[in-house]
Amino acid sequence: ETYPKRCFVYYANLYFMNAAPQFYAGVNATLRLGYEIAAGTTVTLHLPGFTNSVGAYGLNVLVENSTSYDAVRAGYDTTLFNITSSTNFTWSARWEEGSYTDNFQDSKIVLTAYGYQNFNDLFWVVIPKTRNHLIPVCGHPRNDKNIQISTKSQFFYSNATSVTETNVIGPGCGKKNSCSGNGRCDYCTSTCTCNQGFGSIEDQARAVANDFLPDCSSRACPVGPSMGSIVRYDTEHNGTYNKISQHMHGLMECSANGLCDRKTGRCKCTPGFSGAACQKMDCGGTPTCSGRGRCLPMKRLASSLEALPLSSVRVDYVNVNQSQQASWDGNMGHTCVCDSSWPVGLLNGQTQLAEYFGPTCEKRRCPSGDDPNTRQKDETDCEGIAQTGRHVANKELGQYGNKCHIDCSNRGTCNYKTGVCSCYSGFKGENCGSYA
């Protein structure tokens, strides 16, 4: 057979005695191995974040005689003393110091057996704090997966694997409600790194008011393109910067048009805006558009032949995409396209002005007609004319057969509340288009 063979550690419990960050601690290791222990068998306890070199780190000033035992440098080892165990033979222990530049990630205790033990027998080994001065630089969570065990003998070995159980070291984030189950605790600083949606770095950068609680109990609100905001950054661990919002219309909480309720994660929109992220600019009117029109977003207005300014060609609103700055308001900006009892547009048989008009379609035009006093000209003929007063390269002019709307035939005053003409003296008719 080929040796050494790989075996397993059946059980490993490490209990750190009198453990607190930056104070001396002892170690009680309770183990059950999957193979026989013989003289020379080593059991390695991998203890990242532990040191025996108090002078190499800014340790607690209360550590007694902190300079007297500063004897172990990174990459070196020292003998540990007063080892006791439940076996009928002795153990020696050696400390191998990691480097403080990576927070002592390679620190370890190497136990060496000087006797025989059957496989699957439970035993314990204790390394006391007295004389050994093992110090957890930071706190550690319960059942810390970074604390591992590996073993090696002439015939068997086991690779480094997480121990079964460890006790907690330090206060952790207990005072921060254990991060409310919505984040990860840094046991060195006792601070929470909150998950997305509960105050993460990105959440904070996109918040109008960065009022997230440090215990990750606050809720983030939906985001949308803002009408105007300062470009935000977040700082990574290496000190570089990442843009969170790529331009002044970047994604912001509640679209920067409202405030977030941190308890519910819902936006309280500023008057005039609505939607889950306050991303919609309301059209106004009670009911909306006075019940005389449709409230449409910018992207639909661009393709509507009835919306002002009139066009005879349907167009796309750029590419309605957050990465396209020109189309940031494609789904935000809304306005009313008012109803009309006659077709509206620039084509033959259409009229350039709708029956209802105004910001909320609150007004009504009066009946239209040709001015009876100008027999040489038909004011209702809108061929080649833009009645709204705006055209681009002749693309927004009325075509053959297109109509202009002339309230009361220019021979009366229109009541825009009722849509009824009051004819001047000498004229009559619904549109004042006839002589009295």
Which band of pLDDT confidence, cut at 50, 70 and 90, is reported for residue 58? very low
The pair of structure tokens assigned to 303 is 């393709």
Summarised one tens digit per residue, pLDDT across range 101-154 is 888 899 999 999 999 999 899 999 999 998 888 999 889 999 999 999 999 999
Which pLDDT belongs to residue 395?
67
Q: What percentage of the chain exceeds 90 in pLDDT?
A: 64
278/221 Cα distance (integer angstroms): 10
CA dihedral angle for residue 373, residue 376, residue 382, residue 385, rounded to 10 degrees: -110
**Domains by residue range for the chain, with CATH:** 5-62+69-166 (2.60.40), 177-181+194-274 (no CATH)
Which band of pLDDT confidence, cut at 50, 70 and 90, is reported for residue 2? confident
Which band of pLDDT confidence, cut at 50, 70 and 90, is reported for residue 391? low
Contacts of 189 (CB under 8 A, 6+ apart): none
Which pairing describes strands 9-17 and 91-96: parallel, antiparallel, or unpaired? unpaired
Which pLDDT belongs to residue 59?
40
3-state secondary structure of 74: coil
Which pLDDT belongs to residue 314?
78
Contacts of 350 (CB under 8 A, 6+ apart): 342, 343, 344, 402, 403
Summarised one tens digit per residue, pLDDT across range 280-336 is 999 999 999 999 999 999 888 888 888 888 887 777 776 545 455 667 788 888 999
Which pLDDT belongs to residue 83?
96
Which pLDDT belongs to residue 332?
87
Which pLDDT belongs to residue 232?
54
Which pLDDT belongs to residue 53?
65
Q: Give pTM, 2 decimals.
A: 0.71
Asked whether 289 and 283 are in contact (CB, 8 A), the reply is yes
Smallest CA-to-CA distance from 73 within 104, 48, 37 is with 104
Asked whether 149 and 10 are in contact (CB, 8 A), the reply is no
Choose the weakest-confidence range: 73-77, 264-268, 366-370. 73-77
